[in-house]
Amino acid sequence: MSRFSLQDFIKETEQKDKGEGLFELETPRMLEINLNKQIWAKAGSMVSYRGRIKFTREGVLENGLGTLLKKAFTGEGASLMKAEGEGTLYLADQGKKITILHLQNESIYVNGNDLLAFEPSINWDIKLMKKIAGMMSGGLFNIRLSGTGMVAITSHYEPLTLKVTKNNPVFTDPNATVAWSGDLQPDFVTDISLKTFFGRGSGESIQMKFSGDGFVVVQPFEEVYYAESKS
């Protein structure tokens, strides 16, 4: 048999049931969900499914943030879809690496564009980064997830988790920040000198400052978001 036969390709790439439960990493960049009731997922992330599954799009930013915000921020990263039914669902987001977290009465903040899916048992709330709303073109909101259940987040390449302590705060680029622990509240600081090095506008001088006890997750990639312009 030829080394590059069609049969070899199918054998190497075919779906394999690992028996890991509701959330399963089929590949590092493909999430398999063995759906039996309902989950929340990022709108537009469905790649394939089998079974009887119904999808309903929900606007995340319609959760009490006002008509102005709904008109200003309407990108794919700003909305979720609800998948209901029974079957096997496959999710992915632009080839980004997927990490599964099992929250056990814990909380975490996730950048709105880096949240892929979560169980309905998880409580969620939208938090707008008001202090930088006028300085950056997007990536202005994050989602606080709390409770017990499965959560899937995404990152460009491998994520890095940095410990935050009272005596050792961590500074990050907002566009490279994926998530942070639920008991941390970032401050936004401006370093004018950074504009000398980057020359990409005032946004480059904005940093997120994390103080206290917890962690922050960053990615080796600056993910820049742009709100859709409305006429």
Kindly give the confidence (pLDDT) of every residue in the chain, 231 residues in length, as a single tens digit, with 9 standing for 90 and above. 577 888 888 888 888 877 778 999 999 999 999 999 999 999 999 999 999 999 998 754 455 444 334 334 434 345 789 999 999 999 999 999 999 999 999 999 999 889 999 999 999 988 777 665 555 544 467 899 999 999 999 999 999 999 999 999 999 998 899 999 999 989 888 876 665 555 454 445 788 999 999 999 999 998 875 444 333
Task: Report the alpha-carbon distance of residue 103 to residue 145 in Å, rounded.
Answer: 9
pLDDT of residue 11: 86
Domain ranges in the chain are 20-218
What global pTM score does this model have?
0.83
The structure tokens 């998530």 sit at 179
Distance separating alpha carbons of residues 131 and 187, to the nearest angstrom:
9
Whole-number pLDDT of residue 114: 94
**Domain 20-218 architecture:** 4-Layer Sandwich (3.60)
Condensed to tens digits (0 to 9), the pLDDT of residues 157-199 reads: 999 999 999 999 999 998 899 999 999 989 888 876 665 555 4
Closest-CA residue to 103 (of 86, 91, 88, 115): 115
**What's the pLDDT score for residue 117?**
97
pLDDT for the residue numbered 16 = 83
